[in-house]
Amino acid sequence: MGYSGASGGHEAILAAERLVERHRYGGSSAWLAIDQITGRLRLAVDRIMGEGGLWAPELAARALRQAEGDVQEAAQLLRAHRSTLPRVAYSEPVHADELRVSRRISPAFRNPPGSQVLGRTLDYVGRLLDLMPEEQAKARFHNP
């Protein structure tokens, strides 16, 4: 990918920023609340935090909202924000025996030593679009 200059200078940049803001803040529907994003788009928020290198669900949700759902752009926003924060701690190397495994899948062994720990994963879920009505899904999966 090469560099290409834009003509118009500063005025063109300001116009582009106004266009982005008009599309971001305009529209006929209300913005999603942060708790809606963190509660219903957990996987996107987790991916943004992982790519952004900062565990901050609220900030990741804000970044996703600002990026209008673009996970990669949201991760870039979170990385940029992280770069402005002071370092509060340093990690120390640990031995692998000291780690607590929350998910382990081993394709090399049929029965790996210590068994497999899957955790929450989409690896084994059928890839079909769910067309179940929202009310029916709530009734079926509601945890009282």
User: Per the structure, how many domains does the chain have?
Assistant: 1
Residue 70, in any domain of the structure: yes
Structural domain of residue 63, as residue ranges?
35-84
Return averaged pLDDT per consecutive 10 residues of the chain, 144 residues in all.
Answer: 65 84 82 94 95 95 94 95 90 87 62 66 68 75 64
104 strand-pairing partners: 117
Helix or strand (DSSP H, E) at 50: helix 42-52
Tell me which residue has tokens 């009734």: 139
Residue 44, in any domain of the structure: yes
pTM > 0.85: yes or no? no
Tell me which residue has tokens 């928020």: 45
CA dihedral 23, 29, 34, 40 (to 10 degrees): -110
- pLDDT at residue number 6: 59
- pLDDT at residue number 103: 58
Residue 59, in any domain of the structure: yes
Residue 74, in any domain of the structure: yes
- pLDDT at residue number 110: 67
**Residue 32, φ and ψ in degrees, nearest 5:** -70, 140
Are the C-beta atoms of residues 49 and 55 closer than 8 Å to each other?
yes
- pLDDT at residue number 99: 82
